[in-house]
Amino acid sequence: MFEIDYAESGDIRCSGRLDAAQSAKAEAFLGRLDASRTLDFERLEYISSAGLAILLKTQKRLSESGAAIRIINVNKHIYDIFRYSGFNAIFEIETL
């Protein structure tokens, strides 16, 4: 199960497993962003290439208007995925 919503801080909280079956939910939410935002991955357990594609698509779109997403509280396993994908060079990332 994957959940995505706004925290009181305005950050976007992601939780659960962002896999191929859940990527449409992430895409629908992130597709509405039109300004820089922080994604809080503290409760995100897992991400696959389907989720990575949504993050990259969102970052590319936002960058056209000078905005960006920043990702915080990334667990070790997900950070390793980011590193193997080269995402650590195109996203500002903070690990747990």
Partner 1 sequence: MAGQAFKRSIDSVADIYRFSEDIMAAADIDESVRFPVHLAMEELFVNLVSYNPGARRDILIDVQIANAGVVVTITDHDAAEFDVTKERPVDTGASLRERKPGGLGLHLIQHMVDTLEYDYRGGRSRIRFSKEQGTTDV
When binding is defined by CB under 8 A, the residue of 15, 72, 90, 95 that contacts partner 1 is: 90
Considering the complex, state which of residue 11 and residue 75 has its C-beta at the smaller distance from partner 1.
75
Regarding 33 and contact with partner 1 (CB under 8 A), the answer is: no
| Closest to 69 in 3D by CA, of 22, 95, 34 | 34
Task: Give me the phi and psi of 78, to 5 degrees please.
Answer: -70, -35
Round to whole Å and give the CA distance between 41 and 34. 20
- Binding residues for partner 1, total number by CB under 8 A: 25
Q: How far is the CB of 56 from partner 1 (least distance, A)?
A: 5
- DSSP 8-state symbol, 30: H
| Closest to 26 in 3D by CA, of 49, 5, 7 | 5
Q: How far is the CB of 82 from partner 1 (least distance, A)?
A: 10
Binding site for partner 1 (CB under 8 A): 1, 17, 19-21, 46, 48-50, 52-54, 56-57, 59-60, 63, 77, 80-81, 84-86, 89-90
